[in-house]
């Protein structure tokens, strides 16, 4: 039986974020601003890097932009210099007395390249160093994040895939490109994720590095599946039974897993949140759709985290036409049937050896037992490995950015996670999952 433990506050990527320290208004002690090198390479998405740069500088990071020659064809040096407040160079012959080709990499806390072209990744994978950015990548000993953007054919080419695999093998965090509209009229995988979401990855990676988390990429090579949001059960084409789940906790789990190196699939039920960078998002509406999506993706998943709130019941039938009011004022009767319990099914199936299954439970105590008594019984009933328990005795707070929970393990462990961001709870959950995956 594991002992009760309190999750390390260092797990909170936001509260420990160096950028937050840098922005501290106390002025009591000068705090070094995290040094970020923003590499920009020659793709049309280079313009999106301007927003990433803005977000980084405005949150207190000290950013040096290193565009490649081709990137400057898309966005000129004056833009990068003005937005970063620093001189900009692409070659190794500018300000040679400061030895920038080694200094930048050696002193950086994070190197992020967005967009990263197939060409730059090939050169980085093979250790070429023919401009300032590739020199910086060779000398950097800090975390490196690459956000590739290119046409689908280039991304899928075996050469690119081999280079990406090689870079990941060496500890580089290569974010999966998003699917959607590409440069021309075509669509497919290869889009640069939204800058706000790349920024999220950067701050989480920086925070984990600053907190000295030993295995910062402890989910590298793992595939995790997260469900989020609340399902809808339709009565007719315009009405449904739903719930108030915002999806925030599931999205926080997906983001945290990306920052820890995992390949992430997110089954999202009726959420309106932006797609997290590097995450494959599968959209569903009903519990039946969610069940099918989860069951199908779980076959390849090392861990399944059911953060969604699937409706337990659905109407026995969906009216094809909008249900009309009756003239005599009587209301229709809605008959319900029970939906499948997805968590229970996944837990019972276990087609993949060593898979870690996590459920959530919002509980209140009653005359039959305390919150934890009832949660332990639910953990056994559901058959999962971990149950994240929210005590909602005082009323559930839907859509809140904060959360507090107890993580119960089927092995008897109890981990208290103090009130903090949903991101902090997400990391505490992945800490427990990662530990079990290693066992
Ligand atoms: N869940 C599920 N399928 C359902 C309902 C819930 O997979 N049809 C999952 C949720 O994603 C969550 C956990 O089960 O991880 C929440 O369980 P909860 O709704 O609290 O459990 P119930 O089965 O409704 O509990 P009870 O047995 O107390 O009614």
**Nearest CA, atom 8, ligand 1:** 341
pLDDT tens-place string over residues 162-203: 999 999 999 999 999 999 888 878 899 999 999 999 999 999
Residue 436, pLDDT score:
96
* Residue from 268, 347, 359, 396 whose mutation best tests the ligand 1 pocket (most atoms within 8 A of CB): 359
Q: How far apart are CA 151 and CA 41, in angstroms?
A: 14
Active-site annotation holds for 243: yes
Looking at the CA of residue 308, tell me the nearest atom of ligand 1.
11
Cβ of 230 closer than 6 Å to ligand 1, yes or no, is no
pLDDT tens-place string over residues 264-283: 999 999 999 999 999 999 99
Name the active-site residue from 243, 270, 339, 390: 243
Spatial contact of 230 and 242, defined as CB atoms under 8 Å apart: yes
Mean pLDDT value across residues 126-151: 97
CATH superfamily of 34-210: Flavin prenyltransferase-like (3.40.50.1950)
CATH superfamily of 223-438: CoaB-like (3.40.50.10300)
Residue 334: both structure tokens together: 């809605």
Cβ of 359 closer than 6 Å to ligand 1, yes or no, is yes
Q: If you average pLDDT over every residue of the chain, what do you get? A: 91
Cβ of 298 closer than 6 Å to ligand 1, yes or no, is no
Is residue 4 very low, low, confident or very high in pLDDT (cuts 50, 70, 90)?
very low
Spatial contact of 64 and 33, defined as CB atoms under 8 Å apart: no
Cβ of 306 closer than 6 Å to ligand 1, yes or no, is yes
Cβ of 226 closer than 6 Å to ligand 1, yes or no, is no
* Residue from 309, 356, 364, 386 whose mutation best tests the ligand 1 pocket (most atoms within 8 A of CB): 309
Looking at the CA of residue 227, tell me the nearest atom of ligand 1.
11
Cβ of 339 closer than 6 Å to ligand 1, yes or no, is yes
Res. 214: pLDDT tops 80:
no
Tell me whether the CATH fold assigned to 34-210 matches the one assigned to 223-438: yes
Q: What percent of the chain has pLDDT over 90?
A: 80
Residues constituting the chain: 439
pLDDT tens-place string over residues 385-411: 999 999 888 776 666 778 889 999 999
All structural domains of the chain with their residue ranges: 34-210, 223-438
């Amino acid at each position: 039986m594991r002992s009760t433990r309190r999750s390390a506050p260092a797990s909170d990527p936001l509260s420990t974020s160096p950028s937050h320290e840098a922005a501290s208004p106390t002025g009591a002690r000068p705090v070094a601003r995290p040094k970020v090198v923003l590499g920009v390479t020659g793709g049309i998405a280079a313009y999106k890097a301007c927003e990433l740069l803005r977000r980084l500088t405005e949150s207190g990071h000290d950013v040096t932009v290193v565009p490649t020659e081709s990137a400057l064809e898309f966005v000129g040096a004056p833009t990068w210099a003005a937005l970063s407040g620093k001189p900009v160079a692409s070659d190794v012959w500018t300000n040679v007395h400061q030895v920038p080709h080694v200094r930048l990499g050696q002193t950086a806390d994070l190197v992020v390249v967005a967009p990263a072209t197939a060409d730059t990744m090939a050169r980085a994978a093979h250790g070429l160093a023919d401009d300032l950015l590739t020199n910086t990548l060779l000398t950097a000993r800090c975390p490196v994040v690459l956000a590739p953007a290119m046409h689908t054919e280039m991304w899928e080419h075996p050469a690119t895939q081999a280079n990406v695999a090689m870079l990941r093998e060496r500890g580089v965090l290569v974010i999966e490109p998003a699917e959607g509209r590409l440069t021309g009229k075509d669509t497919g995988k290869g889009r640069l994720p939204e800058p706000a979401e790349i920024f999220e990855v950067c701050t989480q990676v920086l925070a984990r590095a600053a907190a000295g988390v030993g295995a910062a990429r402890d989910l590298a090579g793992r595939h995790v599946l997260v469900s989020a949001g609340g399902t809808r059960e339709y009565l007719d084409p315009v009405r449904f039974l739903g719930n108030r789940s915002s999806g925030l906790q599931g999205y926080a789990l997906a983001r945290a897993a990306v920052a820890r190196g995992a390949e992430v699939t997110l089954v999202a039920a009726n959420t309106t949140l932006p797609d997290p960078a590097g995450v494959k998002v599968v959209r569903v509406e009903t519990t039946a759709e969610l069940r099918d999506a989860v069951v199908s993706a779980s076959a390849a998943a090392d861990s399944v985290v059911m953060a969604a709130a699937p409706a337990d019941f659905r109407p026995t039938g969906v009216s094809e036409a909008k249900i009309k009011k009756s003239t005599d004022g009587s209301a229709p009767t809605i008959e319900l049937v029970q939906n499948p319990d997805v968590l229970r099914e996944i837990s019972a199936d276990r087609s993949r050896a060593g898979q870690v299954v996590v459920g959530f439970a919002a509980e209140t105590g009653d005359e039959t037992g305390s919150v934890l008594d009832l949660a332990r019984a639910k953990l056994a009933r559901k058959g999962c490995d971990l149950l994240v328990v929210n005590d909602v005795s005082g009323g559930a707070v839907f859509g809140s950015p904060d959360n507090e929970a107890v993580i119960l393990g089927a092995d008897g462990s109890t981990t208290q996670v103090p009130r903090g961001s949903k991101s902090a709870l997400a990391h505490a959950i992945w800490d427990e999952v990662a530990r079990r995956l290693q066992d």
